Structure 1
Amino acid sequence: MTTASKSSNSRLSAVSLDKSIGSPSDPILKREQAVTISDLLENNSFAPVGHNGGPYLLELEILDKKLVLSVTTESGEHVLCHHLSLTSFRQLLKDYRIVCESYIDAQLRLTPERLEAIDMGRRAIHDEASALLRERFKSRVEIDQDTARRLFTLISLLVARNSFGRGPAT
């Protein structure tokens, strides 16, 4: 999926997710992906270290259990390709997916207070994962907390899609 946004130097104007594994078949996941990309493109801070030629196009894919982050300018100039091991994210990705699934399952049967408690747990995991993502990217690209949160959501969706039919998304 590719979506475009308004221009600025230190920001993303488009995001593409690995097309080789297809788009999510689950309507809830499909909507989550679309909303996350839309929110990301609406408001983000993305500055590859040592480069001022944005806005940038970002492609995310999972290859050999690593996140591959490919960045180009809108004119097609290669900016960076970064491979990030997902090992340190394994438990966070697993916990995040479990909490998200619990929230979806609980929507019709729990009180708003209980749903809020589940959502607070999701946000805590999300915050921890986005802080780790910022730390792992800092030598290659500077991102703010909100951008990191949305990127983590996209990574979790990619991992889940990539793992479909091959066991848990970890």
Structure 2
Amino acid sequence: MSASHRLKSVEIDAATLPAPTAEIDHQRRVAIFDLVEQNSFIPEGAEGGPYALKLSSQDNRLAFDIVGPEFSRTHVLSLSPMKTVIRDYALICESYYEALRGSSPSQIESVDMGRRGLHNEGAELLKSRLEGKVELDQETARRLFTLVCALYRRG
């Protein structure tokens, strides 16, 4: 795999996605930073990158506009198959933050294990939804799943 098969930038079309609170906007920016900082992103049929990714919502679906040298493609994914894991992940994240404020270390560890398990499940589901379109390694899928959750999180 060429080192150029990576994302150099990620942009969000804010006009097409739910308006974020200040906290959610911060989560989105951190997720984008983490994703761009380290990733493996190989669009099907692309010779090499780096790539720019723009995420937007089109007809209640998540659109991935990918542009690279001599490459441009849009993939639109229904998030319906991912709704449950996105919702459950948001709920367990809330539980985790509550646990941090006053639970015992063993309780925090238990909630964190569940949170990491759902995060992995969401990443695997996202990887499978992008199969044949974009190849991602596990860590990139985790970072992208974090961003997708931040895009659809309500304040």
TM over 0.5: yes
Q: Which amino acid aligns with 1:38?
A: F
**Counterpart for residue 38 of structure 1:** 33
Note the alpha carbon deviations across 1:117-153, whole angstroms, 9 max, x for none.
1111111111111111111112111110111111111
What TM-score do the two structures reach when normalised by structure 1? 0.81
CA distance in 2, matches of 1:117, 1:149: 20
Q: CA offset at residue 53 of structure 1?
A: 3.1
What is the aligned residue count?
A: 152
**Counterpart for residue 24 of structure 1:** 20
Which residues of structure 1 form unaligned runs of 5+? 1-7, 165-170
**Counterpart for residue 135 of structure 1:** 128
Q: CA offset at residue 23 of structure 1?
A: 6.0
Please list, as runs of the form range in 1=range in 2, the aligned pairs for 1:58-77 lying within 5 A after superposition: 58-73=53-68
CA distance in 2, matches of 1:51, 1:60: 19
Larger relative contact order, structure 1 or 2 (CA cutoff 8 Å, min sep 6): 2
Identity among equivalent pairs (%): 40
* DSSP 3-state at the match of 1:138: coil
CA distance in 2, matches of 1:79, 1:53: 12
What is the RMSD of the two structures over their aligned residues, measured on CA atoms?
1.8
CA distance in 1, matches of 2:54, 2:78: 16
CA distance in 2, matches of 1:115, 1:24: 27
